[in-house]
Amino acid sequence: MRSDRIVIVGAGPAGMRAALVLAGAGLNPVVLDEAPASGGQIYRRQPRGFTRAYDKLYGFEAGRARALHAAFDADNRIDHRSGTLVWNIEGRRLQTLHDGRPETVEFDRLLLATGAMDRVIPFPGWTRPGVYTLGGAQVALKHQACAIGRRVVFFGASPLLPLVASQYAAAGAEVAAVLDTTPLRAKLAAMPGLLAGGKTGWKGLVYLARLAARRIPYRHGITPVAALGSESVEGFAYTDASGRRHEIECDAIAFGYGLKSEWQLADLAGCGFEFDAGNYQWQVVADEAGRSTVPGVYLAGDGTRIGGAELAEIAGERAARAILTDLGDTGQGAALAACARRIGGQARLRRAIERAFPFPAPLARAIPDDCILCRCEAVTAGEFRASIDRLAPHDVNRAKAFSRVGMGRCQGRICGPAAAEILAAARGVEVKEAGRLRSQPPVKPVPVAAFADAAEDAA
């Protein structure tokens, strides 16, 4: 068993914790991550030479981040290969670009801990310079000590909304307003669940309080209208809960509607998928210990089920223990059960968060015809609807073939959720009936030049 090659893709909390558990059992896991350093999204590290302290960077999460970074860095049984993009899976082989050069990594067992990205709904003007995702705005701050503009409007429905806005304010950026698309009554209805959820549930309130203390307006039940301006953002227009239109002057906008799993590699590995009603998105099927439907392929973290960093870390441990069990270690039962209990204990909080920040599907269905839907191929919502009317595609893959929506370089990561809603609306069905965009290798663009150099080396 000890010679099994175990490869983990993703060095976020899920992948790091899994690697630590496996290393603790005497194994030597390989950890691949595209990023230059471990940490993933939430515990993303700043580049060398930056000097901000942990509590400045990670706030409430500073202790956890420091502990995880330190343990991971100290463990020399972990073979962490940063700067490694995994762009394809063929059988038991991963195809990677390591510092821009193609390499093949073989595995016997694979843990996919590929994390998540922002889920967005296009709105008029969203391709203009100055409009970013909430996560993107946070990366600018955490990783680069920059704000995305001088005066920023934050909007959407996402746990990141109050968080990133208050991080911006604390770092000295001007926050023009925080505008939540969720109606106040929905937020209030979710409150008991949030408050029962322990520390994590309370954090959200702390962010709100901090925003209030700085007299930053926080509005509920808004509907975005447009990013104003020509060459770049000059303002944001929205309607309030009573339908009245407002305009705010700003030079940057950050928005998002929760997170969306990065499951392309799981798709290429052949894993099964299911539509998760709570998260309102397709997720990879995992059993109670994190095994996918493909033998030898395991799952953990936000790439499998959106749940946040704390859950990701537990799920990482759980998957590692499932691997150990499958390798013949019979002593993992109690620890696995403990993981299951901890994960189960967060279920109520998770549902409350889903309810507090619901995906506003009607907004996606109502994207105006002249608004760009697919920013890779510059296809408007109207063009997409026209192709649906004309060619009557049954699912998003057909719709993509007819319209090029989802065919561009992001492979539908950005426009996919909204496109599925528009198709579902046109067909008069629930969004899950519109299907799921199939992934194609490479999961991210790979430069032709990288292969050329490899071919020269081989010759």
- The residues in 316-355 that bind ligand FAD, with binding defined as CB under 6 A, are none
CB 139 within 8 A of CB 146: no
- Is 9 an interacting residue with respect to ligand FAD (CB under 6 A)? yes
- Is 434 an interacting residue with respect to ligand FAD (CB under 6 A)? no
As a whole number of angstroms, the distance between CA 151 and CA 251 comes to 6
Q: Please choose, from the candidates 19, 9, 153, the residue with its C-alpha nearest in 3D space to the C-alpha of residue 86.
A: 9
- The residues in 259-298 that bind ligand FAD, with binding defined as CB under 6 A, are 259, 262, 265
Which of the 8 DSSP states describes residue 361?
H
Structure tokens given for 365: 């269905």
- Is 389 an interacting residue with respect to other proteins (CB under 8 A)? no
- Is 20 an interacting residue with respect to ligand FAD (CB under 6 A)? no
Among the listed residues 30, 68, 163, 381, the single contact to ligand FAD using CB under 6 A: 163
Q: Please choose, from the candidates 315, 306, 304, 309, the residue with its C-alpha nearest in 3D space to the C-alpha of residue 344.
A: 315
Among the listed residues 11, 32, 105, 147, the single contact to other proteins using CB under 8 A: 147
- Is 118 an interacting residue with respect to other proteins (CB under 8 A)? yes
CB 259 within 8 A of CB 117: yes
How near is the Cβ of 42 to ligand FAD at its closest, in Å? 3
- Is 401 an interacting residue with respect to other proteins (CB under 8 A)? yes
CB 31 within 8 A of CB 38: yes
In sequence order, the 6+-apart residues with CB closer than 8 A to the CB of 360 are 121, 157, 181, 182, 257
Pairing of strands 151-156, 174-180: parallel
**Virtual torsion, Cα 294, 300, 305, 307, nearest 10 deg:** 170
Among other proteins, ligand FAD, none, residue 399 binds (CB under 5-8 Å by kind) = none
Among other proteins, ligand FAD, none, residue 265 binds (CB under 5-8 Å by kind) = ligand FAD
As a whole number of angstroms, the distance between CA 320 and CA 406 comes to 34
- Is 232 an interacting residue with respect to other proteins (CB under 8 A)? yes
Among ligand FAD, other proteins, none, residue 110 binds (CB under 5-8 Å by kind) = none
Q: Where are the alpha helices (DSSP H) in 270-380?
A: 309-326, 333-345, 347-356, 361-365
Among the listed residues 404, 426, 427, 433, the single contact to other proteins using CB under 8 A: 404
- Is 29 an interacting residue with respect to ligand FAD (CB under 6 A)? no
- For other proteins, the closer of residues 335 and 371 by Cβ is 371
Structure tokens given for 249: 């002057």
How near is the Cβ of 421 to other proteins at its closest, in Å? 19
- Is 8 an interacting residue with respect to ligand FAD (CB under 6 A)? no
Among other proteins, ligand FAD, none, residue 148 binds (CB under 5-8 Å by kind) = other proteins
How near is the Cβ of 426 to other proteins at its closest, in Å? 17
As a whole number of angstroms, the distance between CA 302 and CA 276 comes to 13
Q: Can you name the residues that pair with 177 across neighbouring β-strands?
A: 153
- Is 252 an interacting residue with respect to other proteins (CB under 8 A)? yes
CB 44 within 8 A of CB 99: no
- For ligand FAD, the closer of residues 200 and 223 by Cβ is 200
- For other proteins, the closer of residues 125 and 290 by Cβ is 125
Among other proteins, ligand FAD, none, residue 445 binds (CB under 5-8 Å by kind) = other proteins
- The residues in 76-95 that bind ligand FAD, with binding defined as CB under 6 A, are 84-86
Buried b (16+ CB within 10 A) or exposed e, 339-362: beebbeebeebbebbbbbbbbbbe
How near is the Cβ of 167 to ligand FAD at its closest, in Å? 8
Interface size with ligand FAD, residues (CB under 6 A): 36
Among the listed residues 9, 372, 425, 437, the single contact to other proteins using CB under 8 A: 372
Among other proteins, ligand FAD, none, residue 376 binds (CB under 5-8 Å by kind) = other proteins
Pairing of strands 84-90, 93-98: antiparallel
- Is 199 an interacting residue with respect to other proteins (CB under 8 A)? no
Among ligand FAD, other proteins, none, residue 225 binds (CB under 5-8 Å by kind) = none
How near is the Cβ of 59 to other proteins at its closest, in Å? 15
As a whole number of angstroms, the distance between CA 214 and CA 349 comes to 28
Which of the 8 DSSP states describes residue 434?
G
Among the listed residues 19, 20, 23, 41, the single contact to ligand FAD using CB under 6 A: 41
131-150 mask for ligand FAD (x: CB under 6 A)? ----x--x------------
Q: For residue 220, what are the CA distances in angstroms to 134, 214, 361?
A: 17, 18, 17
In sequence order, the 6+-apart residues with CB closer than 8 A to the CB of 310 are 13, 64, 200, 346
- The residues in 256-285 that bind other proteins, with binding defined as CB under 8 A, are 262
Among ligand FAD, other proteins, none, residue 10 binds (CB under 5-8 Å by kind) = ligand FAD
What is the sign of the dihedral through the CA atoms of 240, 246, 248 and 254? positive
Q: For residue 355, what are the CA distances in angstroms to 106, 348, 440?
A: 41, 11, 33
Residue numbers at the binding site for ligand FAD (CB under 6 A): 9-15, 32-35, 40-42, 84-86, 113-117, 135, 138, 160, 163, 259, 262, 265, 301-303, 308-309, 312, 443
